[in-house]
Structure 1
Amino acid sequence: MFDGKILCVALTSVAAAFTASGTASAADLVTYQLDWLPGGDKAPIYVCVQEGFCEEAGLEIKIEPGRGSSEAITKLATGTSDIGSAGLGALMAARATEGVPATAVMSIFNMGPHAFYTTADTGIASIKDVKGKKIATSPFTSSNVFLPLVLADNGFSEADITLTKSDPGALGPLLMTGQSDAIIAWLTDVSRYTGQAKEAGKELVVLPWADAGLELYSAALVASDTFLTERPEVAKRFVAAFKKSLEFAYENPDKAAAAVAAMVPELSAEDVKGSWLDASKLAFNEVTETYGLGALDADRLQATWERVAASQDLDPASLQPEDVVDRSFMPASE
């Protein structure tokens, strides 16, 4: 016979079990927007998921790939995604020209990733030495925007170099075969190009633009204004979990690489680790020691905007840098 009391007890037990198991069923969904495809430089968000930092914060994470900061900012501004990584310079330009409803809440990389890569046999030992040389770059890298400024800082212009644009995958071969004297690439790729140089029997030389005066913030944690306004406590929990994940990834590069490889099986942990070790230097450095991890220093913000405005021929008065950031979502310093 059917026993209603037994069914009632059973249902009560199931409900109690769900309650006792934690808040998984009630976790807040957060859509995280990457500014590019998954890779080692994106390790912190994968650590947040795999190491349980986001789960501990009562968060369920959905990760969306991207195709550049402009696309990422558009998705954040329209509310398609809640929070994610994007270039702070790109956000500043978008706020100045379009008034996009998105805000930076934390710095991820406090240094620009831009650099010239060359080989020792070219004789190029400083940025001044690229004058008169053949340079290859990707058509869509944000480095191209800052190239005229870097060259001007060193006393010459694009007219003094032979610049060609090639597929990103062709840059390494162009350099290693001598078809280009130098290439423009990010510091997140040092390990990859070092390996290519070794295979070609050459010594890689890396010339960071930051060492030549291009001091600015690059990747930041950028959020939809709607997300920040409507779910501020969720945003605070996420930022705290992300910061914890960033620190964990820096201290545990093998686990960080494993976290990415576990969720993106087409990437090998070995390649991810090399990329993360390169990228982590943009987050943990002398700037971090001075201002703290994730900090958005007012003077550096101003310097970043001045460079962005100059590179894109924008009126410096069209934006107050402080208007694009909100530091209140960062956890209090310990």
Structure 2
Amino acid sequence: MRNEKRSQLTGKLMLTLCKHTNRSMPLGSVASAALLSVTMALPVAAQEIQNVSFILDWIPSGEMAAYYSGVANGFFEEEGINLSISRGYGSSDTVAKIAGGVADFGIADIAAVFTGRAVAQAPVKAISAVYTHSPHSLFVLESSGIDGFDDLEGKSIAVSAGNSHRLYFPAVAERSGIDADKIKWVTADASSMAALLIAKRVDAAPFFSIHEYYQNKAAETQGEKIKVLPFVEAGFAIYSTSVIATEETLEKDPELAKKFLSALQKSLVWANDNIDEACDLHVAAVPEVALDDCVGSLTAMLAFVFNDSQEEFGLGRFGQDRLDFTYKQVAAAQDLATDFDTSTAIDESYLP
């Protein structure tokens, strides 16, 4: 009966979250990896270790290197955890799977957590911030002459169905003093947006800024160079990726949540201090990822973890003002109730 209810909940969430964001990045050379996992091979007595599953929000490209290198370094084993890592299929899918009991922990955009709770009463909470501001951005070519958002009126932007960049753009346009209605949006498959931009069939394309390095490599083969227009530079500073778990998991085994977050933070700190070594370990586990792509993506990703917000509030912790601003933007984009209590979706008590 319990499994049946979980299956029903997962199905409901997949339907109600379908409006939510699609990560706009091409799959690249790792698209063929349907499922990737890492387990620790160090000899530990069975009774001393706990098997724990962790779902990502997307494919295990270089931005995920902190997690894989954390496993390889034994940080999770030190906490009594044998961690298996699985690729994700978008934040909404990860929220639905965590709610359905498919895995113990996951990473997903906080917007998907808000939406899941507000729309489908998903019993999922964010227990740690990862990205303290969002990597949402537009990529343009330097040769286009577009230097900022105020140059975008009358231009064309590629966009995939349900893309969160499109949903958030009106707020960015307002802050930039431009008319969002004067933008031409060209519907495209997520995997083709970079090619359309480089071929100059569109003037801009939405990507997470974390992926600038390897997208620029493709542009350089055509004699072009990518310029990034981050949404945050228009004052659009919202929380993004977070660690999630179900209320049941947290109530049933609070110590596990504490140990998991302790190991995860060790992994992030170590990766921040040892980017090249972290990518060596990541590529050993995920050979489809090119080493230089990993270094480029991980370097960019860590800037969203270790920054002024992390210094002010602490690693993994949320600031209430930005949290409220984040929900306001998500509610406007997703047509959610404005009186939602964000504290019901957050629980920082398991952080070190």
Question: TM > 0.5 between the two?
Answer: yes
Secondary structure class of the residue paired with 2:83: strand
2:275 to 239, 249, 253: 253
Pair 1:296-2:318 in alignment: yes
2:241 to 216, 219, 223: 219
Quote the offset at 1:52 in angstroms. Answer: 0.6
* Kept after mapping to 1: 8 A contact 2:62/2:289: no
Between 187-196 and 169-178, the greater mean CA deviation after superposition:
169-178
Measure, in 2, the Cα distance between the counterparts of 1:213 and 1:51: 38
Larger gyration radius, structure 1 or structure 2: 1
Residues paired across the two proteins, number: 310
* Kept after mapping to 2: 8 A contact 1:24/1:55: no
Structure 1 counterpart of 2:154: 132
Pair 1:271-2:296 in alignment: no
* Kept after mapping to 2: 8 A contact 1:301/1:322: no
Measure, in 2, the Cα distance between the counterparts of 1:214 and 1:255: 33
Measure, in 1, the Cα distance between the counterparts of 2:181 and 2:320: 35
* Kept after mapping to 1: 8 A contact 2:141/2:227: yes
1:321 to 311, 335, 342: 342
Quote the offset at 1:35 in angstroms. Answer: 0.9
Structure 1 counterpart of 2:303: 281
Deviation digits for residues 9-47 of structure 1 (CA, Å, limit 9, x no counterpart): xxxxxxxxxxxx644553111110111111112222212
Measure, in 2, the Cα distance between the counterparts of 1:221 and 1:44: 14
Structure 1's unaligned 5+ residue stretches are 1-20
Structure 1 counterpart of 2:91: 69
Quote the offset at 1:97 in angstroms. Answer: 1.3
Output the amino acid matched with 1:324: A
TM superposition score normalised by structure 1: 0.88
Secondary structure class of the residue paired with 2:228: strand
Structure 2 counterpart of 1:7: none
Secondary structure class of the residue paired with 1:316: coil
Deviation digits for residues 283-313 of structure 1 (CA, Å, limit 9, x no counterpart): 1222222222211111111111111111112
Deviation digits for residues 78-117 of structure 1 (CA, Å, limit 9, x no counterpart): 1111111000111011111111111111110011111111
Quote the offset at 1:271 in angstroms. Answer: 1.8
Structure 1 counterpart of 2:260: 238
Measure, in 2, the Cα distance between the counterparts of 1:65 and 1:203: 30
Secondary structure class of the residue paired with 1:143: helix
Structure 1 counterpart of 2:77: 55
Structure 2's unaligned 5+ residue stretches are 1-42
Secondary structure class of the residue paired with 2:137: strand
Structure 2 counterpart of 1:87: 109
Output the amino acid matched with 2:217: G
* Kept after mapping to 2: 8 A contact 1:149/1:311: no
Measure, in 2, the Cα distance between the counterparts of 1:40 and 1:97: 32
TM superposition score normalised by structure 2: 0.84
Between 33-42 and 215-224, the greater mean CA deviation after superposition:
33-42
* Kept after mapping to 2: 8 A contact 1:197/1:203: yes
1:113 to 115, 121, 135: 135
Output the amino acid matched with 1:189: H
